[in-house]
A and B are shown apart, each in its own frame.
Chain A
């Protein structure tokens, strides 16, 4: 009955005893710093104090003794003693080398059997797809275009530098149409300015593209069933007329979006490279002409359509010279077709070029 009380009392006593004698409440000693103190004797203390006293002034200063005059008598130079020439030993002629013994040399191994047949490689399994990152992680330095570290081979001497690119035409005895031979020409590799490697943008993107979000697939548009119309003579006639009309009307000109700045710049650079103002008079160099030209879908100008829309800054004669130079530029560089996007033909079917030679006057 009192067993629980005994157990509880014993436990409490044990706990109280452990708390009293078990260093439970003993505080940790506070940290302190000890410093060594040296003990000195009184004699040492006196000596120490004496050293700290101010020095007594001394009135008499010992004068330095006058330096003794030393007569520097130069010693007569010692005559050089002749050094005996050491005769070099006569060169020892090497003994004639004995010819190496070639009897021990084994003959070369027979040449390896080389076959012209390429080894047949196993076709890789089509199931394994190798993902190649399209863009390098780090910027890849590009080779500078203009200044190469080492000389490159000269271009084909047959190709004469010319803005108009054309292939060489060689006489062909078997051909039916007789074509006169001509030299191949190619435009000179040149740029309007030197772009160093440092100025070119790296190909690696600065930021990665955001992954595309999941979108529901667009619903497939299905055409509604055409109403069944009984075939009558009128309907047939109408269909025939429509087909004939469609055949007669020309194909619609693709309009497309407006030309980008880059596409316009390409056209501008192409015409500029053939616009030779070197032979223009000073009056013509002060004349701005506006030239209109119609273009064919293949990018070639219609030569007969080149006309001067307006001119400013010079006399009629000067305007005519300036227009002729502009016309030569359009025809020469357009003979192979300008690089214009065919899907935007409607945008460049008619081109109006303003030739302004203001910056070319003094160069």
Chain B
């Protein structure tokens, strides 16, 4: 009898526990996990900015075009043609008819207004998330001169890009590069600077001597480059604003090349070839001591600082083939990071510090690629007859490089590509271009 009672109690306890568990199961929300999405450009609508003053109409149209081109050029956004708009934006202050924009599947909406007073230009904008019917961030306003209307358009595009993607922008930046004209055997080279999108090209040197490998300073005010003006390659530093330049001191009978600024803007690292051996040196740009960082009998070149200035990535053939190595900024033991087939060169540390971009030569083709600092997750982004010289956009998401076509009439062109490998597109320059160096975002 007692045994039967115990069994009965145990059954009752189990029943109650089971019922409670079932209750807990049915009362909670339905849970699903979504791991697959789509990757497609985000459609946005950008009605022409309102001209608040009578003479602002042309600026409003041009600024709207540049903003749309900036966003579309990233490959992450798609502009909805204005002909598809159901209702326009009559006034910057007017309420937004979200249903009209939702109907044409605009997921983001940019509205703005432009006013001109004298030579002062005033641009303001708002960004809306159409499907939530809310503004993303608050409105922003930029003021400048009418000459700088392109920069102000880039500023607006940077803000829109940054708010939607969460990345920093890169539109309000410049690129210094080597402009090339003529055939391969008699090519004229001169330094040029332009907006990131190829507009506003200005030449910094004439084409009397060969110039190579310009590199921006961290503040974007100076440019280091190598010139054969004296017959030997020597390093020059050029002030972008005044176009004044000076040669850095060097020893007689040596060749200095591949210079690059340290993040502090005062130190540079470069390669120096002496007696058939090439090593990496550091030097204070204001006339200081020269420090030798490597002392191997092999060729060490193409140094690039980490963003925090503590390490240097460079290329070396000390193992027999050209590979990438990382060493402390003051020199010391180097650690090899590239192990794949082929030859690796021209490493550049990402401004975010997480990746290294490089040129790879393998099986008769050149690639631009990225890898992590331990050599993992190597990803080749391009492949062609000749791709080389990568440089990072200020936000570390886009890479610009040189692509040269085959043959005696081959031409060098600048290209840009996203670090995912998508959105490969040429950068329009008036002439051929090579050796690009991307500036930081302008203040």
Which residues from chain B contact A282 at a C-beta distance below 8 Å? 167, 397
In the bound complex, do residue A358 and residue B165 qualify as a contact, i.e. CB atoms below 8 Å apart? no
In the bound complex, do residue A353 and residue B26 qualify as a contact, i.e. CB atoms below 8 Å apart? no
Q: Name the segment of B35-43, B261-269, B336-344 touching the other chain.
A: B35-43
A328 touching B131 in the complex, CB below 8 Å, given contacts A162-B105, A276-B37, A279-B77: yes
In the bound complex, do residue A354 and residue B37 qualify as a contact, i.e. CB atoms below 8 Å apart? no
Contact of B86 among A182, A272, A328 (CB under 8 A): A182
Q: Name the segment of A70-78, A79-87, A222-230, A344-352 touching the other chain.
A: A344-352
Which residues from chain B contact A276 at a C-beta distance below 8 Å? 37-40, 42
Which residues from chain B contact A192 at a C-beta distance below 8 Å? 36
In the bound complex, do residue A356 and residue B33 qualify as a contact, i.e. CB atoms below 8 Å apart? yes
Q: From residue 123 to 174 of chain B, which have CB atoms closer than 8 A to chain A?
A: 129, 131-133, 136, 164-167
Tell me the minimal C-beta distance from B67 to chain A in angstroms: 16
In the bound complex, do residue B37 and residue A360 qualify as a contact, i.e. CB atoms below 8 Å apart? yes
Which residues from chain B contact A273 at a C-beta distance below 8 Å? 38
B30 CB within 8 Å of chain A: yes
Q: From residue 97 to 143 of chain B, which have CB atoms closer than 8 A to chain A?
A: 100, 102-105, 107, 129, 131-133, 136
In the bound complex, do residue B38 and residue A351 qualify as a contact, i.e. CB atoms below 8 Å apart? no
Q: Name the segment of A49-57, A98-106, A210-218, A316-324 touching the other chain.
A: A316-324
Which residues from chain A contact B37 at a C-beta distance below 8 Å? 272, 275-277, 329, 355, 357, 360
In the bound complex, do residue B38 and residue A278 qualify as a contact, i.e. CB atoms below 8 Å apart? yes
Contact of B34 among A268, A320, A362 (CB under 8 A): A268
Contact with B along A270-295 (1 / 0, CB 8 A): 01111111111111100000001000
Tell me the minimal C-beta distance from A87 to chain B in angstroms: 58
Tell me the minimal C-beta distance from A288 to chain B in angstroms: 9
A331 touching B132 in the complex, CB below 8 Å, given contacts A192-B36, A282-B397: yes
A10 CA to B135 CA, complexed, in Å? 136
Tell me the minimal C-beta distance from A152 to chain B in angstroms: 24
A127 CA to B84 CA, complexed, in Å? 60
Contact of A255 among B26, B28, B32 (CB under 8 A): B26
Tell me the minimal C-beta distance from B417 to chain A in angstroms: 15
Tell me the minimal C-beta distance from B276 to chain A in angstroms: 43
Q: From residue 356 to 394 of chain B, which have CB atoms closer than 8 A to chain A?
A: 377, 379
How many residues in A have their beta carbons less than 8 Å from beta carbons of B? 59
Contact of A347 among B30, B38, B166, B420 (CB under 8 A): B30
**Chain A residue with the shortest CB-CB distance to B379:** A362
A258 touching B29 in the complex, CB below 8 Å, given contacts A268-B34, A281-B167: no
Interface centre among A181, A259, A358, A363 (most CB of B within 10 A): A363
A350 CA to B77 CA, complexed, in Å? 33
Contact of B132 among A258, A303, A363 (CB under 8 A): A303
B76 CB within 8 Å of chain A: yes
In the bound complex, do residue A327 and residue B34 qualify as a contact, i.e. CB atoms below 8 Å apart? no
A355 CA to B36 CA, complexed, in Å? 9
Tell me the minimal C-beta distance from B313 to chain A in angstroms: 20
**Chain A residue with the shortest CB-CB distance to B104:** A182
Contact with A along B237-256 (1 / 0, CB 8 A): 00000000000000000000
Q: From residue 233 to 280 of chain A, which have CB atoms closer than 8 A to chain B?
A: 255, 258-259, 264, 267-268, 271-280
**Chain A residue with the shortest CB-CB distance to B86:** A180
In the bound complex, do residue B32 and residue A267 qualify as a contact, i.e. CB atoms below 8 Å apart? yes
A351 touching B104 in the complex, CB below 8 Å, given contacts A276-B38, A303-B132: no
In the bound complex, do residue A275 and residue B166 qualify as a contact, i.e. CB atoms below 8 Å apart? no
A276 CA to B39 CA, complexed, in Å? 5
Tell me the minimal C-beta distance from A257 to chain B in angstroms: 10
In the bound complex, do residue B165 and residue A166 qualify as a contact, i.e. CB atoms below 8 Å apart? no
B87 CB within 8 Å of chain A: yes
Which residues from chain B contact A354 at a C-beta distance below 8 Å? 31-34
In the bound complex, do residue A358 and residue B29 qualify as a contact, i.e. CB atoms below 8 Å apart? no
A292 touching B29 in the complex, CB below 8 Å, given contacts A278-B39, A279-B41, A279-B77: yes
**Chain A residue with the shortest CB-CB distance to B31:** A352
A332 CA to B107 CA, complexed, in Å? 9
Tell me the minimal C-beta distance from B412 to chain A in angstroms: 30
A356 CA to B30 CA, complexed, in Å? 17
A159 CB within 8 Å of chain B: no
A183 CB within 8 Å of chain B: yes
Which residues from chain B contact A335 at a C-beta distance below 8 Å? 102
**Chain B residue with the shortest CB-CB distance to A306:** B132
**Chain A residue with the shortest CB-CB distance to B74:** A279
Contact of A324 among B29, B31, B87, B129 (CB under 8 A): B129
A2 CB within 8 Å of chain B: no
Tell me the minimal C-beta distance from A264 to chain B in angstroms: 6
A359 CB within 8 Å of chain B: yes
In the bound complex, do residue B104 and residue A359 qualify as a contact, i.e. CB atoms below 8 Å apart? no
A178 CA to B287 CA, complexed, in Å? 76
A351 touching B36 in the complex, CB below 8 Å, given contacts A183-B104, A279-B77, A283-B166: no
A281 CA to B100 CA, complexed, in Å? 28
Which residues from chain B contact A353 at a C-beta distance below 8 Å? 31-34
A277 touching B77 in the complex, CB below 8 Å, given contacts A318-B166, A362-B379: no
A360 CA to B131 CA, complexed, in Å? 23
Which residues from chain A contact B104 at a C-beta distance below 8 Å? 182-183
Tell me the minimal C-beta distance from B278 to chain A in angstroms: 35
In the bound complex, do residue B32 and residue A277 qualify as a contact, i.e. CB atoms below 8 Å apart? no
Tell me the minimal C-beta distance from B167 to chain A in angstroms: 4
Which residues from chain A contact B32 at a C-beta distance below 8 Å? 264, 267-268, 271, 351-354
In the bound complex, do residue A351 and residue B34 qualify as a contact, i.e. CB atoms below 8 Å apart? no
**Chain A residue with the shortest CB-CB distance to B100:** A180
In the bound complex, do residue B30 and residue A348 qualify as a contact, i.e. CB atoms below 8 Å apart? yes
Tell me the minimal C-beta distance from B355 to chain A in angstroms: 10
Which residues from chain A contact B377 at a C-beta distance below 8 Å? 362
Contact with B along A142-182 (1 / 0, CB 8 A): 00000000000000000000101010000000000000111
Which residues from chain A contact B100 at a C-beta distance below 8 Å? 180
Q: From residue 32 to 60 of chain B, which have CB atoms closer than 8 A to chain A?
A: 32-42
A280 CA to B39 CA, complexed, in Å? 9
Contact of A275 among B38, B41, B76 (CB under 8 A): B38
Which residues from chain A contact B33 at a C-beta distance below 8 Å? 268, 353-354, 356
Which residues from chain B contact A181 at a C-beta distance below 8 Å? 86
Which residues from chain A contact B34 at a C-beta distance below 8 Å? 268, 271-272, 275, 353-356
A281 touching B30 in the complex, CB below 8 Å, given contacts A164-B105, A324-B129, A328-B132: no
Contact of A359 among B25, B35, B133, B397 (CB under 8 A): B35
Tell me the minimal C-beta distance from B331 to chain A in angstroms: 32
Tell me the minimal C-beta distance from B394 to chain A in angstroms: 14
In the bound complex, do residue A350 and residue B30 qualify as a contact, i.e. CB atoms below 8 Å apart? yes
9 contacts between A and B (CB under 8 A): A275-B37, A276-B42, A277-B38, A278-B39, A279-B77, A347-B26, A355-B34, A359-B36, A363-B420
The 9 closest A-B pairs by CB, nearest first: A350-B29, A275-B37, A281-B166, A321-B166, A278-B39, A354-B33, A281-B167, A279-B76, A331-B131
